[in-house]
Amino acid sequence: MESEIRVRFAPSPTGYLHVGSLRTALYNYLYARKVKGKFILRIEDTDQARYVEGAVENLIETLNQVGLEYDEGPDIGGNYGPYFQSQRTEIYGKYADELIEKDAAYFCFCTSEDLEIMREEQIAKGEDTRYDGRCRKLSKEQVQENLDQGKPYVIRAKIPKEGEIVFFDIVREKVSIMWETVDDQVLIKSDGFPTYHLANVIDDHLMKITHVIRGEEWLSSVPKHLFLYNAFGWKPPKMCHLPLLLNPDKSKLSKRQGDVAVEDFLKKGYLPEALLNFVALLGWHSKSDKELYSLEELEKEFSLKRINKSGSVFDIEKLNWMNGHYLRELESGYVAIKARPFFIKAGFDINDNEKYLKIIEVVRNRISTLSEITKVAAPFYETIKYSEEDKQIINNENSQRLFSFWLKNIQVLDIITEENINRLLKQSTDELGIKGKDLYFPLRLALFGSVHGPELPVIFDVLGKEEVLGRLSKMLD
C-alpha cells in the first residue's frame, strides 16, 4: 500500500506573507486535497536575527482569511510536532553529532574576520566567493584542542569536491549540478541554532514529507539537501520547484514595483476568492482555457504535471478584472460583509441594513476592488456638492419645472415602484414636453449628484420616498 502523501508549507516569520509564498502554500494545499493527503504548516524560525514579532500570528490569520486550511500546524498541533523549528533544537544537535561521526560534517573555527579576508582575496582573484574548506584539513587533535579551549565554532557539511549530482525535479525534470559549485554549507551556527538546510531536511524526514513543493530559488540548494539525506541513509522526498513570479518588465516580483504582501491586497479590497484564483494561474494551467475557478474546482483540477517551467508575470490588470467578476457574481450578502469595513472607515451610517444591501447590489457592478466602493456609493450617503456647470443645469427653467412636477407627484405616492417612475418619466415628456438628456440629466443630478449613474428607478428605490422628496426640495431653493 502506498504511503500517505504529505506536503508542507514552511515559511520564515520575517514579516508579511508574499504573494509568491501564498502561491507555494496554495499549490501544496491543492495537491494535498487532490490526492487526499495532508497539508502541514511548519514555522522555520531558526534565524532569530530575522524574526519579526507578530509575524506568525499574521501568517496564520492571512491563511485563514483566504481559506487555506492545514491539517497540522503550530496552533492546531498534530502527531509530528512541535511545528516551530525553534522548539526542536535538541533534535538537530543530535543529528549534527551523527554527521560529525560519519565524517559527513566538520567543525569550523573560522572567525567572521577570517571569512571576510578570505572573501576579499577571492574577489581580488576573480574567484567565486565561497568557503574554501580550510578547516576540513584540521586533524582530530587540533579540533579537540580548539574545543577544549572553548573556541567558537560552526558545523559545516563536508560536500564532495568532484563529479556531479543528478536528480529529478517534477517541473525541471532531469537536473545536474557540479559538486565543485556547492558550498560547504553551515549546518549548525555558532549560537547552536541549525541553519535552514539542516533543520529542513531533518524535519521533512521526521514529519514524513513525501513531496517538497517550493520556489525555484531553492533549486540550487537541492544538492546540499540530497547530500544530507544520503549521509543519514534516508529516502528523500520528491522535489517540485515552482517558476519565479515576475514584474511586467520580467524582473523578479519585488516590493519596489508595487504591493507583494497578501495582507495589502486584502486591505485594498481584493476578495480571497479572486486572489486564490489569480495566484493559482501564475505558473499552472488547466486542460481547458477556463480562467475562473472556485477553490473546490481547483482542488479537483490541480496537477503538479501542469506547472510551467518559465516565470509568470504578475498582471495587476488581470487581477482587477478577476476581482470585478467575483464582486458581481458572489452572493450579495457576502460582498456586503466584506465591504462593511470600507463603509465604516468612510464614516457612512450603514445601520439601515435594507438600504445598505440595495446599495451593495447597485455599486458592486461598477467597481474592480472594494476600496473603490465608497466613492461610488457616496452619493447615496453624503450631501452632494455641485459644480458651476451642474448648477446651470439645475437652475435651468425646464429643470425647475421638472423638479416641481416630480415633487408634487412623488408626494401622493404610497410607495415608489419602477412602474411609477417609468409612468412619471412618460408624463414628463407628454405633459411638460421635456425629454432625452433634458429629462434624465437634471433628475440624476438632483438625486445622485452626477448626470451619469444607475438607472433612475434604482436611485429612487435606494433613496426611498423621504430622501427623494428632501433632495428634490433642495433643487427648488
What is the set of active-site residues? 255
**What values do phi and psi take at 462, rounded to 5?**
-70, -45
d(CA 79, CA 285): 34
**251, amino acid identity:** S
Question: Concatenated DSSP letters for 46-97?
Answer: --GGG--TTHHHHHHHHHHHHT---SBBTTTB-TT---BGGG-HHHHHHHHH
**30, amino acid identity:** L
d(CA 395, CA 441): 12
d(CA 266, CA 273): 11
* SS3 state of residue 139: coil
Q: Which of 164, 191, 189 is nearest to 178 (CA)?
A: 164
Residue with cell 476578495: 271
Q: Report yes or no: 85 and 43 within 8 Å, Cβ to Cβ.
A: yes
| Residues 6 or more apart in contact with residue 116 via CB below 8 angstroms | none
User: Which sign does the torsion angle of CA 374, 375, 377, 381 carry?
Assistant: positive
Residue with cell 452619493: 379
Strand partners, 106: 156
Q: Report yes or no: 26 and 58 within 8 Å, Cβ to Cβ.
A: no
> Is the omega angle on the peptide bond into residue 82 within 30 degrees of 0, that is, cis?
yes
Strand partners, 105: 157
d(CA 34, CA 28): 10
**What values do phi and psi take at 241, rounded to 5?**
-105, 125
* SS3 state of residue 407: helix
The length of the chain in residues reads 477
Instruction: Say which DSSP state 251 is in.
Output: S
Q: Which three cell numbers stand for residue 297?
A: 474546482
